[in-house]
Amino acid sequence: MDPADRGQPEGAQPSRRWISLLLGSGVLASIASFLYPAIRYIIPPPLAESSSRSVVAAKVGDLKNNSGVVFKFGSEPGILVRLADGQYRAFTAVCTHLSCTVQYRADLREIWCPCHNGLYDLAGRNVSGPPPRPLQAYEVHIQGEDIVVSRSA
């Protein structure tokens, strides 16, 4: 329909096109903002380290006796503990109760889950609180200056 037929000046047409363009691009942006997270959820990014069987958890000398550190092992946390006698132990740091990250308690000399006060001994056995199973143990090897933690075969 011709603008003159509607009683509008001809200069009004470009501004209507701009408004239509802005509304159209807003709708497209809204659709994209809904679709992008859904697509990212359906197609997760590749986990580069998830298949890794070993990782350098720390350097020799990083941990003093009777201490522990949480490290990244693939997509999950692990915990490396240096016992009072200098030996190393490593476990998954994922609590077997509800998957909180455990930590080493030097005062208790045990591995503790802060979420529900679960306790594991230094062999990874669940000894107190709600955890139903022991922590999965890892192998620890010293390679030069590296403390390498490996999943058991």
Q: Which of 111, 115, 103, 116 is nearest to 127 (CA)?
A: 111
CB of 129 to ligand FES, least distance (A): 5
Phi then psi for 72, rounded to 5 degrees? -90, 125
Q: Which of 68, 78, 124, 131 binds ligand FES (CB under 6 A)?
A: 131
Q: Which of 31, 98, 108, 142 binds ligand FES (CB under 6 A)?
A: 98
Sheet of 110-113, strands arranged across: 103-105, 110-113, 118-120, 126-128
CB of 116 to ligand FES, least distance (A): 3
Q: Does 118 interact with ligand FES (rule: CB under 6 A)?
A: yes
The dihedral through the CA atoms of 103, 104, 107, 110 has a sign that is positive
Q: Which of 100, 127, 137, 148 binds ligand FES (CB under 6 A)?
A: 100
Q: What is the DSSP string of 15-72?
A: HHHHHHHHHHHHHHHHHHHHHHHHHHHHSPPP-TTTT-SEEEEEETTSS-SSEEEEEE
Nearer Cβ to ligand FES (65/117): 117
Phi then psi for 149, rounded to 5 degrees? -110, 135
Task: Tell me the per-residue interface mask from 55 to 94 with ligand FES, x by CB under 6 A, - otherwise.
Answer: ----------------------------------------
Q: Which of 58, 81, 93, 113 binds ligand FES (CB under 6 A)?
A: 113
Nearer Cβ to ligand FES (129/146): 129
At 14, list the tokens: 């470009």
* Interface contacts to ligand FES, rule CB under 6 A: 95, 97-98, 100, 113, 115-116, 118, 129-131
